[in-house]
Amino acid sequence: NAGVTQTPKFQVLKTGQSMTLQCAQDMNHEYMSWYRQDPGMGLRLIHYSVGAGITDQGEVPNGYNVSRSTTEDFPLRLLSAAPSQTSVYFCASSNLGQTNTEAFFGQGTRLTVV
């Protein structure tokens, strides 16, 4: 059971570099989202999608882009990395249409920007 798969698990970037964090799910979930986790701040929503072709901003979208061309994939792009983007990133997916929907999380990507 793959669930939600994130790659890479670790990444070091130099300031100004770009990269894409990959996220894929095999549960046919409509809803996918990206969070960043920082000490003392819990999880903050970056972007989310309620279905293929539909994305929206969360609490902290600046510096990040997303797209949702398929139900399965929801990549997160950093166009010009900054030290403030050093964090642990989690992708999650869930079903809509149910009030008791459970979110399934990937293992996380630990990103360091130097």
Residues that bind other proteins (CB under 8 A): 4, 31, 33, 35, 40-43, 45, 48, 50, 58, 90, 92, 94, 96, 99-103, 105-108
Task: Please report how close the Cβ of residue 103 comes to other proteins at its closest, in angstroms.
Answer: 6
Name the nearest CA neighbour of 76 among 60, 94, 99: 60
CB of 7 to other proteins, least distance (A): 13
Supply 58's token pair. Answer: 């969360």
Do residues 88 and 108 touch, judged by C-beta distance below 8 A?
yes
Q: How far is the CB of 106 from other proteins (least distance, A)?
A: 5
In terms of CB distance, is 16 or 26 closer to other proteins? Answer: 26
For residues 69 and 107, which CB has a smaller minimum distance to other proteins in the complex? 107
> Which residue number, 74 or 90, has a Cβ lying nearer to other proteins?
90
Q: Rounded distance, CA 56 to CA 76, Å?
A: 13
Closest CA to 9 of 112, 113, 111, 114: 111
Q: At which residue do the structure tokens 């792009």 appear?
A: 77
If the CB atoms of residues 14 and 39 are measured against other proteins, the closer one turns out to be 39
To other proteins, the closest distance from the beta carbon of 24 in angstroms equals 14
Per-residue DSSP letter, 84: G
The Cα 76–Cα 67 span in angstroms is 8
